[in-house]
Structures are given as C-alpha cells and as structure tokens.
Amino acid sequence: MNKVEHIGIAVKSLDVSIPLFEKLLNCKCYKKEVVQSEQVNTAFFQKGETKIELLESIAVDGVISKYIEKKGEGIHHIAFEVSDIDSEMKRLSNEGFVLLNEKPKPGADNKLVCFLHPKNTNGVLVELCMEVRQ
C-alpha cells in the first residue's frame, strides 16, 4: 500500500454537507460523481495528498442508506492507494483477509476498487484503489 488515498464519509445530503466541508477544510469541492454500482453520489475534496470523499445514497435500500440508518453519518471507510490491485488482493487474501469483491470493480474518481470485510480489520471498512491507466 502506497498511502491513504481518501477517507469516505457517509452523509445524508451532499447539498448540506458540501458547504459544511468547504468551510471546515477551507477548500472547494473539486468533483462530484455518481457511482451507480454503489448507488451513491460522491463529492471530493483535496487536502495535501489525501482526499475526502462524501457519500450520499441514491437508493433507499443502498449501502450508505443502511449505514446511516444503523450508525448515523460519519466515517464510512478508509481507502489506500495500491500500485497493482490484483497482486495486493491476492496478497491480502493469502494473509487471511476476506475480500468483498472477487475482482476489482470501477469506482469513483477513475479508480478500480476492492473492499476488505471489516470483521478482519478491527471493524474498519478498508478500500483498495488503483488509478485506471488511460
């Protein structure tokens, strides 16, 4: 793993949360994107080398809706940048971690992603992400 790529925060409303985080972080949201596979609207902020990703559900029964219903708004996951997602997935699987995806899938911000089950990571949802090479 190279670095923390972003921290994902579950929010009820991007319309409410974007202005809040713009004030908090003293920077503008640089990108909004819909990720249909995850049923979310996302908004990104850049602070130094790390990004903050706000996640708003677009489905009543979506993962983020369920998360907020159970735990409330807050940190949803931490994402680590990897150079080779396939080999990192294989390495972590061999180390006994449970992968929530059999193969990498398209994510937000031009990334391939895979999640690790939180039961193996002290309750933290971990995302691996790799920039898609154009």
- Residue 108, amino acid: A
The token pair at 1 is 């793993």
Note the pLDDT tens digit of each residue in 87-121. Answer: 999 999 999 999 999 999 999 999 999 999 999 99
pLDDT, mean over the chain: 96
Residues of the chain with pLDDT under 70: 134
Q: What is the pLDDT of residue 133?
A: 82
Place of tokens 């994107």: 33
User: What whole-number distance in Å separates Cα of residue 115 and Cα of residue 37?
Assistant: 13
Strands, E assignment, the chain: 3-11, 31-35, 40-47, 50-57, 74-81, 105-106, 111-116, 126-131
- Residue 125, amino acid: L
